[in-house]
Structure 1
Amino acid sequence: MKRHVYSNDFKLQVVKEALETGNKALVARRYELSKNLIYRWTKEYEQGHFGQTSVDQVDYVNPQKMEQENTELKKLLGEKDIEIAVLRHLIKKKNPHLLKK
């Protein structure tokens, strides 16, 4: 059997997919790799051998926190839209010649 040499980018892609799905065997079948190879790459990734930060140092996104942040950003965007509308109204009020445009 021929031995393959995989790039770190490919390994990272496979490992991240395996961690996201939580099913290393399924990812191994998808890429036609040995599941033991995926387990080894995952372990190496967690130890930081791919030049990335270790899994313990990565700040995983909490869906509830993300939803709360999204709501706050929507609120801020709405406030900025209102502020822009008010400022445009004031400009037009002080400069009536701009109303024609």
Structure 2
Amino acid sequence: MPNDKIGFLIKQVHILQEQRLNKKFERFGLTGAQTFTLVSLFKARERNEKLNQKDLERILDISNPTVTGILNRLEVKGLIKRVPCIHDARIKYIEVTKKAIE
């Protein structure tokens, strides 16, 4: 197989996998990316850790604009809230809401 097609094939597998995950989580009104974000937040909550947007970018290995979009949609759905840091108002911690926990 020529090397120039490998990248294309990897991208196709990625797209198919993403579609599969989105279909799986559709019944909850979530995408795969939103679900993985919530899972990361729940894991942090279990460890009594607070995560901010930069932490989620690093954990999920996705860009700032992508995380912003995911968080905005989760906030509109009432599943997360942004809580300002007491020591630095520029930092907002992301917390799951009671609705997400239920």
Query: What's the TM-score, normalizing by structure 1?
Result: 0.36
Tell me: higher relative CO, structure 1 or 2? Use CA pairs within 8 A at least 6 residues apart.
Answer: 2
Whose strand fraction is larger, Structure 1's or Structure 2's? Answer: 2
